[in-house]
Structure 1
Amino acid sequence: MKIEALGHSAFIATIDREDGTPFRLLADPWLDDHVIGDVGGRFPRIRADWSNMAPIDGIWISHSHTDHLCPYSLLQLHRQLEGNPRLLIPTSLRYLKSILSEFLPDWPITVLEQDSAMDLGGIRARAFFNVREDATNEDDCMILLLDNGQDALLSEADAVLPMQDPAVREMVGELLIEAGPRQRVFLTTRNELEATMASVDAPDQESRQQVVAHQRGVTAQLAQEEIIPNGATSCPWQAQGTVRIIIGQGISLPHEVVGCWNRVLFPVRLEDRARIEQEAVTRENLPLQVMALHGGESVSVDSGILSPVTPVPGLEVLDQESQRHFDPETEIVADFPVAPLRDEQRDATTQH
């Protein structure tokens, strides 16, 4: 298997079909430079030369947020990709099927239902929701599981399964080990936004250092709880051949205005999360391998062994991680306009 990170939650996964030919899936293709209109910016910005990449067989959209379902990116892909990849959408996006068909003609559209397996031509696809008691803004996000009978890929996206829960870990372990008895990749998106928001909201340097230290401690505790044995008898972390790959942290301020704010965002980095998890793996003597994968990086997995990271072919990366290393000594503090910007009485009947 191969995972090519395109930044944030976007990636290309290559997994062999049952007959040995490759199946390539493009997931959550937010490839535009901006998001939520122009409120956010993408990091890193990328330029893909699809003519220098292997064909894409399927495109998966995990949920409705515009850093996953980007209309601009889909239209551009429709113009640039060769062939007609199958668009896979969760049942939570079924209501968009007609408009997607209108603007993406010739692309077959398949709706994945909860816990229903589908044959994609030598690849089995299944999807399920992270059902929980507390409501979140990610409840429409479906988790995707692909397998060929020997190798399996689980893409968590923004669902964030509570792997510290023995019942959830047992369920995931049973699914993954059955789907991928030879090897399996657990691909998760982690943004550590609590630390970023605490850093941005800090009124001064000392406060920022305190809240960031606190958030690092919270992250370390939660990360370890997701890894250490918790009584689940079918645990994916305890099975030989499991790899956990961490992507994410692609939403920044727009590049037109970001300035020195890059030194304030993401005080807990992907590599920090991977290091914390790997330390827990080592202490518990687990066979799991954990790594962070940034936009523009590619890694292959063979028999559960990670290859050295290489650049994604055909992809130009315009921004480097070194440009946004967190600086705990920076004195920049937020001085943003605070709503409401207009406080006069307005006529509600004229508003749309």
Structure 2
Amino acid sequence: MKIDFLGHSVVLIHMPVDKGETIILSDCWLSDYATGDYMARNPSIKFDFAKLPKIDAIYLSHPHCDHFDPYSLMELFSHQKPDILLPETSSFLKPLLEEYLNAHVIILKHNKKENLYGLTFRAFSFAVPYHTNEDDVMMLSIASKSEIVFLEVDAAVPDTEESYQTLYSLFTEKQYQTCVYVAVRNELEALFASLEATSPNDRKNKLKEYRIKRRDEMAYEYDKFEESDIPEIWRVANLTKIYIGQGMIVPPDAAPDLLELSSPFPLSEVVSEEKKIAQEYKRNLRFIAQEPGKSVHINGTKSELREIDYLEKLEKYPVTLRMDKTVRVHRKDKPVYPRKENIKEQKEKIIKLLNERFLPHQLSSLMDPLKMIVSNKKSRNYVIEVRYGTAESYETVYYGWSFTSIWFTEMNLEKEDSDERYWATDIIDFMEGRQDMFSTMLHFFPEGKQIRLWNMMGLPFLNSDFVYKKIQLHFKLASQNHTSKDWVMPAILDNISTGS
């Protein structure tokens, strides 16, 4: 098989079949900016569409903007019309794909084999004992008679017997000549630790702690099988593990001085570290840190890197890490999109959000239960502070919940030590698709404040209407010839700055 790495989490997979080859694009973020994260793509790529091979299908693993980008899809569909493979967890978005792309959409169901284009596809939605913003991600396996590739896409395989049994059986149900596992490692936590450090020494300490934590996590991937009867995928013969990812940076047009802080744990070092660990545990794995703009040709245990001929442009920003640099990101304490709104209507929407979504979610959370949060507070109140208006003129409302309450209600307080603090306009923007969970790139959060409400709004299924509005908004803008840059850059320039 051949795997073209197009940057971040996007790969184009070529697999031989009886009559030629089948070509699958896994995820589709090819434009220069991420509209939810307000980040830039690195590298920036442009296709020579005359040379781009005919794609049989695009797999859209989940509706985060760096995997499911309406701007990229609209451009690609203006040149060719592949099928869309959509996981059932995102099937509520099928009408938008049909409306804006006139696409033929095939729904992939959990653990159900689909024979398409001469290959066998299986998507997986593993059960986990907690909620994450990637609950809707479905991982994918693609198999021919002699080859198999498994794509993590953008989620970690859960630490459960079910998932390990499934993975092992996938790779061993046939005597595959070539076995490939594609892992995504974006290391965004390290990136923001580097960007937001208050001093060079703070950066050094944070990144040291992060690397120790990541090394422990890597070692656990092998150690957990040492005293277990669960079959281990890392012992599968002929297995090659390919690492991709790390394609997001703060837009250099707005903050070129941050490029020297934007490579805190590069993919090559991630692979080098895991290679050492695998050797310590005596695993005979082959690792590849795939480079954007390169194609890896794999046959059994042999691999070769080659150039991709259909790329017209591949512009890599020179990211490095300078520990001594004193620059950092600064965010303005204001709504991302300040404007005058009907405050009465905003209040109605926000109290409904708090009581119909946030309160049931947080009360039922097993990982972070509201009852324990309140029990451990001296005030015995959980308080969310919302500012209605703009930075120049606003009204503050405190919403509180306690054991004496049935619902969140407005508290008649002049000042309260709130647990969370937001601008009302940002919350409304999230509900209407103009922001998402990762738009915190633009947000100023006072030190010590939680963002439980914001994180809850980013949970799949509970908030599918927010996701639908977001995807619909960007399809509409893309259809009017707007670009991802048009959306991202004005907001970046208006909300962040850099300095010591």
- 1:77 aligned partner: 76
- 1:202 aligned partner: 197
- 1:276 aligned partner: 273
Q: Cα–Cα, structure 1 residues 327 and 316, in superposed 2: closer, same or farther, change >3 Å?
A: farther
- 2:143 aligned partner: 147
Is the CA contact (8 Å cut-off) linking 2:260 and 2:322 kept in structure 1? yes
- 1:248 aligned partner: 245
1:258 has 2:258 as partner: no
Q: CA deviation at 1:112?
A: 0.4
1:226 has 2:225 as partner: no
- Structure 2 CA distance for aligned equivalents of residues 278 and 302 of structure 1: 21
Is the CA contact (8 Å cut-off) linking 2:241 and 2:285 kept in structure 1? yes
Task: Give runs of aligned pairs for residues 83-162 of structure 1, distance below 5 A.
Answer: 84-105=81-102, 107-162=103-158
- 1:295 aligned partner: 292
- Structure 2 CA distance for aligned equivalents of residues 63 and 10 of structure 1: 13
1:23 has 2:18 as partner: no
- 1:336 aligned partner: 331
My pick for the range that moved more, 176-185 or 217-226, is: 176-185
Give the match's secondary structure for 1:273: helix
Is the CA contact (8 Å cut-off) linking 1:32 and 1:42 kept in structure 2? yes
- Structure 2 CA distance for aligned equivalents of residues 44 and 22 of structure 1: 27
Which runs of no fewer than 5 residues in structure 1 stay unpaired?
A: none
Give the match's secondary structure for 1:285: coil
Q: CA deviation at 1:237?
A: 1.3
Give the match's secondary structure for 2:77: helix
- 2:208 aligned partner: 213
Is the CA contact (8 Å cut-off) linking 2:29 and 2:68 kept in structure 1? yes
Q: CA deviation at 1:167?
A: 5.2
- Structure 2 CA distance for aligned equivalents of residues 343 and 76 of structure 1: 32
Q: CA deviation at 1:233?
A: 4.5
Q: CA deviation at 1:251?
A: 1.6
Which runs of no fewer than 5 residues in structure 2 stay unpaired?
A: 347-424, 429-500
- Structure 2 CA distance for aligned equivalents of residues 218 and 37 of structure 1: 28
Give the match's secondary structure for 1:294: coil
- 2:466 aligned partner: none
Choose which of 173, 181, 195 in structure 1 pairs with 2:168.
173
- 1:68 aligned partner: 67
Q: CA deviation at 1:317?
A: 4.3
Per-residue deviation, residues 215-244 of structure 1 (Å, max 9, x unmatched):
011111112222454435432211211011
Per-residue deviation, residues 181-211 of structure 1 (Å, max 9, x unmatched):
2221111111112211221221111110111
Q: Cα–Cα, structure 1 residues 102 and 335, in superposed 2: closer, same or farther, change >3 Å?
A: closer
- Structure 1 CA distance for aligned equivalents of residues 174 and 196 of structure 2: 44
Runs of 4+ in 1 over 3 A off after TM superposition: 165-168, 227-230, 338-346
Q: Cα–Cα, structure 1 residues 20 and 224, in superposed 2: closer, same or farther, change >3 Å?
A: farther
Is the CA contact (8 Å cut-off) linking 2:235 and 2:284 kept in structure 1? yes
Q: CA deviation at 1:286?
A: 1.7
Is the CA contact (8 Å cut-off) linking 1:198 and 1:211 kept in structure 2? yes
Q: CA deviation at 1:171?
A: 2.7
Is the CA contact (8 Å cut-off) linking 1:40 and 1:251 kept in structure 2? yes
Give the match's secondary structure for 1:329: coil
Give the match's secondary structure for 2:43: coil
- Structure 1 CA distance for aligned equivalents of residues 50 and 83 of structure 2: 18
Per-residue deviation, residues 312-345 of structure 1 (Å, max 9, x unmatched):
2111444336x00122221212322234577999
- 1:44 aligned partner: 43
Q: CA deviation at 1:119?
A: 0.7
Q: Cα–Cα, structure 1 residues 345 and 79, in superposed 2: closer, same or farther, change >3 Å?
A: closer
AA at the equivalent of 1:69: F
Q: CA deviation at 1:266?
A: 3.5
- Structure 2 CA distance for aligned equivalents of residues 316 and 73 of structure 1: 16
Give the match's secondary structure for 1:184: strand
- TM-score (norm. length: structure 1): 0.91
- Structure 2 CA distance for aligned equivalents of residues 187 and 325 of structure 1: 25
Give the match's secondary structure for 1:136: coil
Q: CA deviation at 1:291?
A: 1.4
- 2:498 aligned partner: none
AA at the equivalent of 2:48: D
Q: Higher helix share goes to which structure?
A: 2
Per-residue deviation, residues 19-49 of structure 1 (Å, max 9, x unmatched):
1521110111101111126821111100011
Choose which of 273, 282, 285 in structure 2 pairs with 1:285.
282
Per-residue deviation, residues 85-116 of structure 1 (Å, max 9, x unmatched):
211011112111122112112x3210001111
Is the CA contact (8 Å cut-off) linking 2:83 and 2:105 kept in structure 1? yes
Q: CA deviation at 1:62?
A: 0.3
Q: CA deviation at 1:126?
A: 0.6
- 1:193 aligned partner: 188
- 2:2 aligned partner: 2
Q: Highest CA radius of gyration, 1 or 2?
A: 2
Give the match's secondary structure for 1:52: coil
